[in-house]
Structure 1
Amino acid sequence: MRIQGHLFTWVAIFMLVVAIVYGVWSKEPVGTTALFLSFALMAMIGFYLVFTARRTDTGPQDNKDADVADDAGELGFFSPHSWAPLALGAGAVCAFMGPVFGWWLLYFTAPFLAVGLWLWVFEYYRGENQTQ
């Protein structure tokens, strides 16, 4: 994790230099703002990774003498298939069409958003994925 943190930090420094040069050279505010925001995001991720790497055990990716097999094993918990994100996404698409076609559309899509969110939040409390 330490290597990734340093990588993001170096990219953040590069983005800062590019943002300053671009801002002075072009005097264009939108691109300059986007580059400064890119710097801020890279710096935030890099700081988090370096900060977290100090408090966790050294992983195989930080050990120069590690083998590929040292990183084998369980990677974590991944959710099984679920239809809830599809329902929530369809409700969100219809809700975001509200300002285009009329705010009245939001009244009809709000129940779809609520049902999709409810299904996604409570998917491990019912059915075949229920946990004890």
Structure 2
Amino acid sequence: MKVQGKMFIWLSVFVLAMAVVYGVWSKEPAGTTALFLAFGLCIMIGYYLAFTARRIDAGAQDNKEADVADDAGEVGFFSPHSWQPLALGVGGALAFLSVAVGWWLLYFSAPILLIGLLGWVFEYYRGENQNQ
């Protein structure tokens, strides 16, 4: 985790330098703003990874003498199947389409988004996946 944090912090330094150079050289506001926003995202992720690395044990990627097999094991819990991301995708696509077509389409996409979001949040509190 320490390696990834350092990588993102160095990436944010690079993106900041490129944002300044690009802004001075091109005087184009959209690209400059995008690069400064990319800097902000990189520094947030790098800070989070560096902060989290201090609170957890060192991983295999932090040991220079580690083998690939040292990092094997359980990664985490993943849902076996869920239809809720499909509802969120359709609702999100319709919501973004409403910007181009007309705001009236948002009235149809908001309930689909709400159903998908609530279904995903409460997926393991009801039905066959309910915890005992």
- Structure 2 Cα separation of the partners of residues 23 and 29 of structure 1: 7
Rate the CA distance shift 1:98–1:30 in 2: closer, same or farther, 3 A.
closer
- Structure 2 Cα separation of the partners of residues 109 and 35 of structure 1: 31
Q: Could you report, residue by residue, the CA deviation over 1:24-74 in whole angstroms, capped at 9, with x for unpaired residues?
A: 111222111111111121111111111211121111110111122211111
> What are the residue-to-residue correspondences of 1:32-51 with 2, within 5 Å?
32-51=32-51
Q: Does 2:62 align with 1:62?
A: yes
- Structure 2 Cα separation of the partners of residues 69 and 113 of structure 1: 42
Residue type at the aligned position of 1:7: M
Rate the CA distance shift 1:38–1:118 in 2: closer, same or farther, 3 A.
closer
**Offset of residue 11 of structure 1:** 1.0
2:73 alignment counterpart: 73
Give the % identical residues.
69
Q: Does 2:106 align with 1:85?
A: no
Count the aligned residue pairs.
132
- Structure 2 Cα separation of the partners of residues 63 and 103 of structure 1: 54
Q: Secondary structure at the match of 1:65?
A: coil
Rate the CA distance shift 1:28–1:93 in 2: closer, same or farther, 3 A.
closer
Residue type at the aligned position of 2:117: L
Q: TM-score w.r.t. structure 1 length? A: 0.86
- Structure 2 Cα separation of the partners of residues 97 and 23 of structure 1: 32
Q: TM-score w.r.t. structure 2 length? A: 0.86
- Range moving further from structure 2, 120-129 or 28-37: 120-129
Q: Which has the larger radius of gyration?
A: 1
Q: Give RMSD over aligned pairs.
A: 1.9
- Structure 2 Cα separation of the partners of residues 122 and 94 of structure 1: 23
- Range moving further from structure 2, 109-118 or 33-42: 109-118
Residue type at the aligned position of 2:43: A
Structure 2 unmatched ranges of 5 or more:
none
Residue type at the aligned position of 2:35: L
